[in-house]
Structure formats: structure tokens, C-alpha cells
Structure 1
Amino acid sequence: MKKIFLLVLLMGVALCQAVAQQDAKAESILSKMADNYRKAGGISLTFGGTQHGKLLLKGNKFCLESGGIKTWFDGKTQWSYVEQNEEVNVSSPTPEEIQSVNPYALLTAYKKGFNYRYVGEKTRQGKRGHEIILTPKTSQDIKSITLNVKENSSPVYIAIQLQNGEKQEFQISSYRTGVNLPDAVFRFDKSKYPGAEIIDLR
């Protein structure tokens, strides 16, 4: 779960000129995607693949539901509700920890934390998009991230390859922008989970 959607969203030896062109293309696509995200307002998307779930986004806030865990983040505090044992862990995550849960944190961190290269157009789930591979500049659990993006900057596919050989794949099945999402959507509401044990880790 901690590795869900880092991206989100989701990098041989070649001539210097070719490498520069690939990087410029990748940067152009990532910059456009980040700009569109900032202008999108509320975003709602559903995904399948390694795990299935739903993600709501607005600015730096998110609500993620997948694998029996629901996570809310209001920009400062994070609540993670584990359905199986009815526990809610409350924390104040670091930017790095947020990246490991919210894929779209990658859109504001890719320039500083990742190398990236454009690998061409590929078809995923019958949808053609531009594919980019990102690799972290410093050693971490993540080995690489593959991101496939349509012309309109909406994501089609995200794959996260971990150093231990594990691979997580996320196929975006629906993507809507301009969704009305009040701030309350990104906070844990105790009245809806009266039996939950709250564990404050702050």
C-alpha cells in the first residue's frame, strides 16, 4: 500500500543529441501534464491492474480507496483506515511519504527527484499514448516508473518497478476533471466509522 501510485503517474548508451531530444520531449509532456493538473480542479479517477480502486484529487489533497484501505489527506494530516481491523492511523507525513501514496505528487517532484526519457508512442488498453520512463536520481525502493499519457495529458497507464523485482501496474479506466470536491472529502469523518480505533502517530 505504501508504494501505491507514486507517481502518479506515472528512465543504453546513445548519442548525446538523441538523449537530449528524448529528455526535451519527456519534459515537455510532463510539464504539460503538471500544468493541466493544476488547472483541472477536482479530479476523479478509477484504476485496475495490480490493485483496483478510486482516487480523488484536488491540489495537494487526495482521497484514495484500494485494497481494503482508505486514505485521506487534507494537505497537512493523513488518515488511513484499515477496514479489516477497523483502525485509523493518523499522521503528518513528509513530502517523501506523500509521494509514496499519491501518484500525482510526482507531477511537482519529477524535475528535482527523477531523470526521465521519452521512449515513443505505445498502445495500452487499446489507447495510444506517449510513454516516458522515470528513474530516481538517488537510491530508493523504486527502480523506475513507466508513465503512458494521452495527447490530452490524461494518464492511461502507470507501472512502478521496485528494486526487489516487484512490479505494480495501474491501468486508468476512467478519468474526470472539474469534479466538485469539497474539502470535507479529504478528511476522515469519525461519524461514518463509529467503531474505528484511532491511533495518533503524530
Structure 2
Amino acid sequence: MKNFYLSVLLLTVAFTGLQAQKSDPEAKKVLDAVSAKFKTYKAVQVGFLYSIEDAKGKVQSKKTGTLLMKGTKYKVTFGDQEIYSDGKTTWNYDKSAKEVTVNNVSSDANAFTPQKLFTSFYDKDFLYVLNGEKKVGAKTLQEIQLTPTDKSKAFHKVYLTVDKNAKTIQSTKILENGGNKINYTLNNMVTTVNPADASFVFDVKKYPGVEVVDLR
């Protein structure tokens, strides 16, 4: 996967036409609560573990990353990738290639931002059902199954785990049509951070020798 939002966000790319009446209203209550809770935070820093399993359950890849968000701004660090966005411009830095690609942030309301992963990703072309809940240690976890209504998508199921009391997403499992499973486990969510706006801007001066590909 080229970067964080190209891999997660099979979940969120330009969906239309959800028929909410066919979804589980109890699942919607859970998802709405997660969205409402997230919107109360001024800034959030999240650590995550990403892995890919093949059809036999063998782990093919495993990486860790961090996601920092403030309003419409974000920074993602993931393997050899660093993605910065100040809400107007996006910088995608590939460490291994020593190259940064610069783009304008899309004005399309359907365009993905990491913030949508925690708020409105389920509002479009998904049918969803609450599978139930279970105790894991001191936590009560709720599992929601999401099915895309567009059958041409590269995945056929998404399983979302939510901490019932904290109203936060704990993990996401994406089942691809080819049999692979993409797993994200979120941890170390810190909601008291106050990052400077400069944290979301790629400063070329700090990366001597980097090639800049400006697509604006």
C-alpha cells in the first residue's frame, strides 16, 4: 500500500446512496456515539498497528504508525511514509525514495481525510449490523459488521470493534475479495495533545537532498 489512506480507506472513498433503513438501528447508535465523542476533541494522537494476513491466516506484513490530528490538519507516520496536511496542502514524503509529492487538498466533499475514519465513514454505501458484544479484560467490546452495497469494491466485509464505554474504535478488519485480511488495531489514543500548526507542514529545508514533485 502506498500510504495510510490508500490502504485504510477502501472504507471511505467516494461512496453514495446508503439505504439506512436496511441497516441495524442499534449499530447506527454505536457509530453515531463514536462520531460524536471524537468531535469533542480539539486534537488527537493515535498509535496503530497494521498487518496483512493471507487467506491461510499467515501474516505477510506488519507495521506500526502514528496519526496526529487537529481540526482539518493531520500527520501520518507509517513505515517509510510520512503524510502531512495543513488543510490546504498535502505532502506525501517517501523516505526510501527521498521524494515528496505535493498536492492541493481536494475540495470534493467525498474526498478522504483521516478524520472521516473516526466520524462519517459509515454514512455512505454501507449496510451495517451490530453482531453483539463481549468482555475483554475490563473492556466491553462491540462488533459491527459493515457490508458495502457496491459489489464492485475490492472488499466484501469490514468488521469494526468499538469500546462500548469509551466510545472509541479499537480495531478494524477488512476482508478483501482475494482472501487477504487487512487489520488495524488502534492504541495509545491521547486527547490532551496541543500540536503546533507547523507540525502539519512538511519543511523541505529539514530534508536536504529530497526531490520535490509539485502537482499543484
TM-score greater than 0.5 by the shorter chain = yes
Q: Aligned in 2, Cα 1:197/1:25: closer, same or farther, shift over 3 Å?
A: same
- Paired residues for 1:29-178 under 5 Å: 29-50=30-51, 51-92=63-104, 94=106, 98=112, 102=114, 104-106=115-117, 107-122=119-134, 127-138=139-150, 139-150=152-163, 151-178=165-192
The verdict on how the C-alpha distance between 1:187 and 1:144 changes in structure 2, with shifts beyond 3 A counting, is farther
- 2:9 corresponds to 1:6: yes
Higher helix share: 1
Counterpart code for 2:84: W
- Aligned counterparts of 1:165 and 1:93: Cα–Cα separation in 2: 33
Residue 38 of structure 2 corresponds to residue 24 of structure 1: no
Structure 2: where are the runs of 5+ without partners? 13-20, 52-62
Q: Hey, what's the Cα distance between the residues in 1 that align with 2:103 and 2:79?
A: 20
Q: Using a 3 Å threshold, how does the CA distance of structure 1 residues 80 and 124 change in structure 2: closer, same or farther?
A: farther
Task: For structure 1, list consecutive stretches of 5 or more residues without a partner in the other structure.
Answer: 10-19
**Is 28-37 or 122-131 further displaced after alignment?**
122-131
Residue 203 of structure 2 is aligned with which of 189, 193, 196?
189
- For the aligned residue pairs, the C-alpha RMSD in angstroms reads 2.8
Amino acid corresponding to residue 140 of structure 1 in structure 2: K
Please, what TM-score do these two structures have when normalized by structure 1? 0.81
The answer to whether the 8 Å contact 1:113/1:136 transfers is yes
CA shift digits 1:41-69 (9 cap, x unpaired): 11011112413111111233221111110
Alignment CA distance shift 1:143-1:186 (3 Å)? farther
TM-score (norm 2): 0.76
| Alignment coverage as a number of residue pairs | 190
Match of 1:62, SS?
strand
Decide whether aligned partners of structure 1 residues 68 and 60 sit closer, same or farther in structure 2, where only a CA change above 3 A counts. same
1:78 and 1:91 in contact (8 A); partners too? yes
Change (3 A) 1:24 1:90: same
